[in-house]
Structure 1
């Protein structure tokens, strides 16, 4: 089992989703709509978990999600917003056209994949402060970041301290 698969399994166990998925995802269609490939661990997370949020705070952008947390509904808007920062900020860890959103928080923070290689499975996550220029590169895949965040192994300076004391609860809006 690859490390990414291992982290996906750990996140799914933490989420405690016991229902079978009742959606099918056509990844070639999703990727064509977005205009770029997606990492394996993200696809697995979306196949195993319904749209929803962790700790009443953190939403993975899901292809099946509602507009606020939908990969297809928010991607172009979030890419457009970050492109402005790339032009104006030296802090952004990604290059124009090579940074793609993968999660949002209730505080307006956005997680982006830094696509610094052509292999999406090598992309790492960086967090952009909600309504601000600060960036926090993680050097972690999405599934590793999510697992470590939920279990206290990763602490973000951009997220509220109260997140650290929350149980790694998952609630679905699907």
Structure 2
């Protein structure tokens, strides 16, 4: 299979968790799929292509050394099928719903093969989580997120130096906005970084909040606030301060009322800032309930067998 044939085949196997995983490779069993890639420029270029679709990868095997903490929750099923003289030299992995996607180099004797591997992926059910777990810990658990695995490796290092990995600078945003941000939101973006839950709910980094808030405030000053009723845009008292959005134009705000940001309610509008729904809960509780409760009024699309966080690498 060449690189041009890869993406259509891959998309069909991961969206939405319905493609049959039956590996044709000699000596490999069922329950996964290996795709040998020919006519590709190299591992770095293929990782770059897949990152454009599936977000920032994790390093599972680098320079022949596997992550010693790897488990079924962090991608181990991608390297488990290889044996009988096969050695995984490199493997970058992505979580996508109920599938693991791996891209790497497998050596058989003196031969090196560029492969893409797919394997089933599961995450703990919300009901199996400790009752006293924090909302952030619950989000980490149900998405299988491991911030330690999203670390700098030789491929990712190039992106870091090119400025394509953004960080959560909460202090700079708070100074620009003239207010503190909710503390649980700050822990959320410091833990997960730049990306989207289920590749759908885009969590704004602090710099994004500043950009969107300043645009909305400038628009309101120039055109008035009739479309913002009953809440004006921030920094007006009780104004709306955005923290997330979806591709369906659903917008998520805090109602910035009162001196304590940790007490600000969540406010959701479908299209534009017109009247929406108010929720007396923190940001992390709200996101967790979106992921875990199919009866939630803004629940995530239920097409996928497992939840995940798609980490972005964008300027």
Same fold (TM over 0.5): yes
Greater relative contact order (Cα 8 A, min sep 6): structure 1 or 2? 1
- Residue number in structure 1 paired with 2:249: 108
What is the number of residues matched between the two proteins?
A: 162
CA distance in 2, matches of 1:126, 1:162: 17
Deviation at 1:86, TM superposition (A): 8.7
Aligned partner of 1:35 in structure 2 is: 178
Which residue pairs with 1:16 in the alignment? 144
Whether the 8 Å CA contact 2:202–2:245 is kept in 1: the answer is yes
Instruction: Confirm whether residue 163 of structure 1 aligns to residue 301 of structure 2.
Output: yes
Give the superposition deviation at 1:37: 1.2
- Whose helix proportion is higher, 1 or 2? 1
Match of 2:51 in 1: none
Separation in 2, partners of 1:90, 1:32: 25
Asked whether the equivalents of residues 140 and 146 of structure 2 are also in contact (C-alpha less than 8 Å), the reply is no
Supply the distance in 1 between the matched residues of 2:280 and 2:218 (Cα, whole angstroms).
23
Q: In the alignment, which residue of structure 1 is the partner of 2:188?
A: 45
Pick the aligned partner of 2:285 from 137, 140, 144.
144
Structure 2 gaps, min length 5: 1-132, 152-165
Change (3 A) 1:79 1:127: farther
CA distance in 1, matches of 2:179, 2:252: 17
TM superposition score normalised by structure 1: 0.75
State the 1:85 CA deviation.
10
- Three-state SS of the structure 1 residue aligned to 2:206 is coil
Q: Please give the alpha-carbon distance, in whole angstroms, between the structure 1 residues aligned to 2:227 and 2:192.
A: 35
Match of 1:67 in 2: none
Could you say which residue in structure 1 is the equivalent of 2:80? none
Of 65, 79, 88, which aligns to 2:226? 88
Name whichever structure is richer in strand by fraction: 2
- Which deviations, in whole Å up to 9, do the C-alpha atoms of 1:27-77 show, x marking residues without a partner? 33220122321001000001100211112211111136xxxxx33433322
Inter-partner Cα distance in structure 2 for 1:82 and 1:12: 37
Name the residue aligned to 2:74: none
Q: TM-score, structure 2 length as denominator? A: 0.44
The alignment's C-alpha RMSD in Å is 3.2
How far has the Cα of 1:92 moved from its partner? 3.0
Deviation at 1:91, TM superposition (A): 5.3
Stretches of structure 1 lacking an aligned partner (at least 5 in a row): 65-69
| 1:74 partnered with 2:212 | yes
| Contact preservation (8 Å) 2:291, 2:300 | no
Shift of residue 14 of structure 1? 2.4
Secondary structure at the counterpart of residue 163 of structure 1: coil
Tell me how far apart the structure 2 counterparts of residues 26 and 107 of structure 1 sit (CA, whole Å): 27
- Is residue 242–residue 254 contact of structure 2 (8 Å, CA) maintained in 1? yes
Q: Provide, for residues 141-165 of structure 1, a one-character-per-residue CA deviation record: whole Å limited to 9, x for no partner.
A: 1111001111016622xx5x77244
**Is 1:120 matched with 2:261?**
yes
Q: Is the 8 A contact 2:233 2:241 kept in 1?
A: no
